[in-house]
Amino acid sequence: MAVTTPDVPTGPLTAVGPNCPAGDPAGAQRPAESASSPDPAPAAPFLIDRNSQAAEEANRDPARAQAIAPLVNTPTAFPVGDWLRDVSGEVRTRVSASRDTGTTAIFMIYAIPHRDAGAGHSAGGLPNADAYRTFTRQVAGAISDARAVVVLEPDSLGQMDSLPADQQAERYALLNDAVGVYGALPNTSVYLDGANCGWTAAPVIADRLLRAGVKGARGFAVNVSNYYRTADETARGEVVSALTGGTHFVVDTSRNGQGPADGIQDPWCNPPGRGLGAAPTIETGSPHADAFLWIKTPGASDGECGRGDPVAGAWWQQQAEELVRLAATG
């Protein structure tokens, strides 16, 4: 599919990380109004998942439950991937709970073929394109007309350089297909992978978003499973929004209360001394930021990280308690 490379906004990109703009370098080039989106904006309140990983851990070990109570009682995305034995059933459980409580369920979809090809800690995904298309329709069928947010395949665009050309083409095709399927749901807001400001420059990710069909989605998600500060990710998000015609975005604030770590190898991978960030809200104060959300499960490991940490996705009580103890207070 032919895509015109977007113009880069004028003005300097002062940085707190390789690509983290401070302030608003998009300036006057930002669209006066948001782009027309086929998807609705997400509606608060968001679902507190009583079957979340944190809730299960609290029930399993009541003596340690109080230490992670903020994780149990805060809306968090439910990860939907190839590890689930009953994908439709697990999604329907959250959909039913959202209907019963008048809330919006949040789903983080993570099953694309050749997943995490760059880092490898969460490598896997479904075996081929046909399986992924079937999976997409299973999840969408389970969501149906419920109020939902779908964060679609974190890292899938940020790691595009890790794939050969044929797999890149397949990935773009699968993401376009998924945007079409989820975007057709009447009350679902769909967000593609917008990477983070310490990783992928705004013009690069904007081009990939356009190729992946962001104009058919609500927008993109930034900082998923990372630690950059909300203000910096919001500023970069506005730049990417300007480069994609005013699309909207959400920011993962689940673990960014202390900002990114310095002085360690792979600071994206279970850095110590981090804390919970801002609680989920649609009150962002930014024209194209639809919401701050907890997308990565706080307390779930990023991977072994070369330091003998728990495998990716495994519960890590020590980290969970640290995130609560060092939570942002502002």
Residue among 40, 39, 35, 36 nearest 183 (CA): 39
First to last CA, the chain: 45
Q: Which of 39, 116, 207, 232 is catalytic?
A: 116
Q: Is 116 a catalytic residue?
A: yes
Cα(112)–Cα(155) distance, integer angstroms: 10
ω into 9 cis (within 30 of 0): no
| β-bridge mates for residue 193, sequence order | 221
Residues near 69 by beta carbon (within 8 Å), at least 6 away in sequence: 58, 324
Q: Which of 39, 193, 302, 309 is catalytic?
A: 302
Phi and psi at 193, nearest 5°, equal: -75, 120
Contacts 24+ apart (CB under 8 A), 114-118: 114/163, 114/167, 114/171, 115/153, 115/155, 115/156, 116/155, 116/159, 117/159, 117/162, 117/163, 118/155, 118/158, 118/159, 118/161, 118/162
Residues near 188 by beta carbon (within 8 Å), at least 6 away in sequence: 39, 40, 143, 146, 147, 148, 149, 150, 182
Cα(8)–Cα(124) distance, integer angstroms: 34
Cα(260)–Cα(86) distance, integer angstroms: 36
Q: Is 177 a catalytic residue?
A: no
| Residue positions counted in the chain | 330
| β-bridge mates for residue 219, sequence order | 191, 248
Cα(148)–Cα(106) distance, integer angstroms: 6
Q: Which of 39, 49, 155, 309 is catalytic?
A: 155
Q: Is 24 a catalytic residue?
A: no
Catalytic residue annotation:
116, 155, 302
